[in-house]
Structure 1
Amino acid sequence: MARKTLRIAMNGVTGRMGYRQHLVRSLLAIREEGGLDLGGGDVLWPEPVLVGRREHALKEIADRHGLTEVSTDLDAVLADDSIDIYFDAQVTAAREQALKSAIAAGKDIYTEKPTATGLGAAVELAQAARAAGIKHGVVQDKIFLPGLLKLKRLIDGGFFGQILSVRGEFGYWVFEGDWQEAQRPSWNYREQDGGGITVDMFPHWEYVLHELFGRVRTVQAHVTTHIPRRWDEKGKAYEATADDAAYGIFELDGGVVAQINSSWATRVNRDELVEFHVDGTEGSAVAGLRNCRIQHRATTPKPVWNPDLPATESFRDQWQEVPDNADFANGFRAQWELFLRHVALDEPYHWDLAAGARGVQLAELGLKAAAEGRRLDVPELAL
């Protein structure tokens, strides 16, 4: 048995997502199970090198998990020939330049999204990576969630017939930070720091819609800042300059209409924090993070509108749960494993910087559509 080590510079692991999902639940989880099985007796061993601005925080994480290498000098790390992959989970505003430097250093790169703060820069990154001949991937975690994997199973099996529409609801109440601590960093609510729910979530909706239902052809949106005043991590009040809610309508290939509401100013009255309701001629489904429920044409009841009487039936009880029929790994880990196999074995992989650029494009067009009050075409990117 041969063990192949890949040294991965991880920038941004002091943040919640970078630490919990990418370090602990992905790479360290792979190590805890003896590495990634590459077949033929070979094993891939990921070796994280923690990178960031706060050395004490990096050392604390390293000591907690038995890691030995930390650095606050990104340039020195990228100049190290032993580093194979650069991973970025920093704040969006810092990502573009770091990715440019990693590409110039010839490193394979894997990154959170959005890949840049504007479409032009996102396209340049994709083109630069392609010209450099490196391998590159963008985190698109939601299509690896159990609920959406079940939904894809239904689509692939022809359950829906002709798909007509998709309705998505995402979000929860993020506390303002005065009388209860906020669950998200304050930079998320400052446009000047790269914040805003449109630039955060529209890249997600682009790949979810694209992968499951078809390419987004048009977009119209309304974005707003419902909560104009918030309090930061030090308890200081600040003006929320970024949008905290975005209401989008998207037309997809084949005439499918998708409506997705995204809000950090809503209280949850659904089974999961994100749900997609899909209607088709032969059946409908509601998929969340983990679960998926269906109602087939043959078992669809015939409700009658009568506002003068209380409802006599539970509509939720009329749906059937889709079974797991498989063991589902953590979605972040599942994509990490595919990318590591792509690097080690050159296996096919299409969630790249071009896909990341499409997400930035949709966010940019969504903001423009909202500002101009009209529907905009989403042209294909020439990459």
Structure 2
Amino acid sequence: MTRKTVRIAMNGVTGRMGYRQHLVRSILALREQGGLDLGDGTVLWPEPILVGRREHALKALAEKHGLEHWATDVDEVLADETVDIFFDAAMTSGREEVLKKAIAAGKHVYTEKPTAVGLEGAIELARLAREAGVKSGVVQDKLFLPGLLKLKRLIDGGFFGRILSVRGEFGYWVFEGDWQEAQRPSWNYRAEDGGGIVVDMFPHWEYVLHELFGRVTSVNALATTHIPTRWDENGKPYSATADDSAYGIFEIEGGVVAQINSSWDVRVNRDELVEFQVDGTEGSAVAGLRNCRVQHRSATPKPVWNPDLPATYSFRDQWQEIPDNQEFDNGFKVQWELFLKHVYAGADYHWDLLAGARGVQMAELGLKSSAEGRRLDVPEISL
């Protein structure tokens, strides 16, 4: 076996997502398993370079995990010809600029979403990457969740018959920060810093709906800020200028209708933090992060509406759990593996910057729909 070292500049690894999912559970996990076998006698060995603004935090992470390379100067890292891939998980507001620099430097780019603050910028990134001949990838992690993989298995097997509708519930209560520390950074609630739940979550809903059910053709959304004042990391109050909840209706080619609620102001009364119910003529399913339950047409009970009598049975008990039937690896790690195989072995891969642009488009149209109070068509985009 031949070992090939791949140097990956990882920008934003001091943040929650960049550190936990991308560094520890993806890149370091690949190193722990001995690298990534390409199947042709080559093993890729990822060598991360930690990049960020806080020198002390980067140094601490490097020492904790026994890593040699870290830097606070992005331009210096991009000028290093030994760097193969640039990854970004830093603040949304600075992503477009740093990705442009990485593409201009000839680096393959892999990035969190949204890829830009507006559709025009997102399309420009996709165009620049294509013209530069560099490979690109956008994180679309929810496609690799066990629950949604089981749901995809049901769709591919024809379980639903004709799919009629999708109902999604996502969210949890994010503490305001006054008497309990908030679970999300304060910039998430400032529109001027790229915050807002529409910008954060509508790109997810676009690729989930697109990959599982078809292209989204229209969006009708209401975005709002339920909690106008929050407290930042220093305990100081600030005005929330970004939306913290959004309620969307999405039409999908072929007639499927999806309704998805997204909120950081909801207390969880469901099995998982996100759940999708899919109803079809032959059966229904409820899929979450890990689990998936079904009810087939032949096993559907006959509920009778009678408000004068209490229910004597549990509706949840009338559903059947879908077995795993396979080992599910961390979804972020799986997509990293696919992207690396795309870059170094020519494997098929379509979650690129153009796919990321569709997510930016969805968020942009969602905010516009909410501001104008009307349903908007979703034009197809291309380079």
TM-score range for the pair, normalised by the shorter chain length:
over 0.9
1:269 is matched with which residue?
Answer: 269
Q: Which residues of 2 match residues 154-165 of structure 1 at below 5 A?
A: 154-165=154-165
Conserved in 1, the CA contact under 8 Å of 2:86 and 2:102?
yes
Distance 1:333 1:382 in 2: 28
1:14 is matched with which residue?
Answer: 14
1:172 is matched with which residue?
Answer: 172
1:304 is matched with which residue?
Answer: 304
TM-superposition CA deviations, 1:46-71 (whole Å, max 9, x none): 00001110111001000000100010
Distance 2:382 2:285 in 1: 34
Displacement, 1:37? 1.1
1:204 is matched with which residue?
Answer: 204
Find the residue that maps to 2:262 and give its secondary structure: strand
Find the residue that maps to 2:254 and give its secondary structure: helix
1:145 is matched with which residue?
Answer: 145
Displacement, 1:232? 0.1
Q: Which residues of 2 match residues 359-378 of structure 1 at below 5 A?
A: 359-378=359-378
1:104 is matched with which residue?
Answer: 104
1:2 is matched with which residue?
Answer: 2
**TM-score between both structures, scaled by the size of structure 1:** 1.00
1:354 is matched with which residue?
Answer: 354
Find the residue that maps to 1:39 and give its secondary structure: coil
Amino acid aligned to 1:21: Q
Distance 2:251 2:192 in 1: 30
TM-superposition CA deviations, 1:138-170 (whole Å, max 9, x none): 000000000000000000000000000000000
1:335 is matched with which residue?
Answer: 335
Distance 1:220 1:42 in 2: 49
Distance 2:180 2:307 in 1: 40
Displacement, 1:40? 3.3
Find the residue that maps to 2:230 and give its secondary structure: strand
Amino acid aligned to 1:124: E
Displacement, 1:265? 0.2
Conserved in 1, the CA contact under 8 Å of 2:354 and 2:382?
no
Distance 2:64 2:239 in 1: 37
Displacement, 1:312? 1.1
Distance 2:62 2:147 in 1: 33
Distance 2:51 2:99 in 1: 14
Amino acid aligned to 1:182: A
1:234 is matched with which residue?
Answer: 234
Distance 2:277 2:297 in 1: 15
1:80 is matched with which residue?
Answer: 80
2:251 is matched with which residue?
Answer: 251
Amino acid aligned to 1:282: E
Distance 2:7 2:343 in 1: 12
Displacement, 1:38? 1.0
Identity %: 79
TM-superposition CA deviations, 1:344-376 (whole Å, max 9, x none): 111110000000000000000010011111100
CA RMSD of aligned residues (A): 0.5
Displacement, 1:39? 1.1
**TM-score between both structures, scaled by the size of structure 2:** 1.00
| Structure 1 stretches of at least 4 aligned residues deviating more than 6 Å after TM superposition | none
Find the residue that maps to 1:201 and give its secondary structure: helix
Amino acid aligned to 1:149: L
Conserved in 1, the CA contact under 8 Å of 2:275 and 2:289?
yes
Amino acid aligned to 1:244: D
Count of residues in correspondence between the two structures: 383
Amino acid aligned to 2:226: H
- Structure 1 residue 131 corresponds to structure 2 residue 120: no
Query: Structure 1: any 5+ residue segments left out of the alignment?
Result: none
Displacement, 1:382? 2.2
Find the residue that maps to 2:261 and give its secondary structure: strand
Distance 1:170 1:93 in 2: 24
Distance 2:282 2:117 in 1: 41
Amino acid aligned to 2:270: R
2:194 is matched with which residue?
Answer: 194
Distance 2:36 2:196 in 1: 36
Distance 1:374 1:97 in 2: 32
Amino acid aligned to 1:82: T
Amino acid aligned to 1:110: Y
Distance 2:54 2:367 in 1: 34
Displacement, 1:41? 3.0
Distance 1:8 1:341 in 2: 14
1:33 is matched with which residue?
Answer: 33
Amino acid aligned to 2:92: T
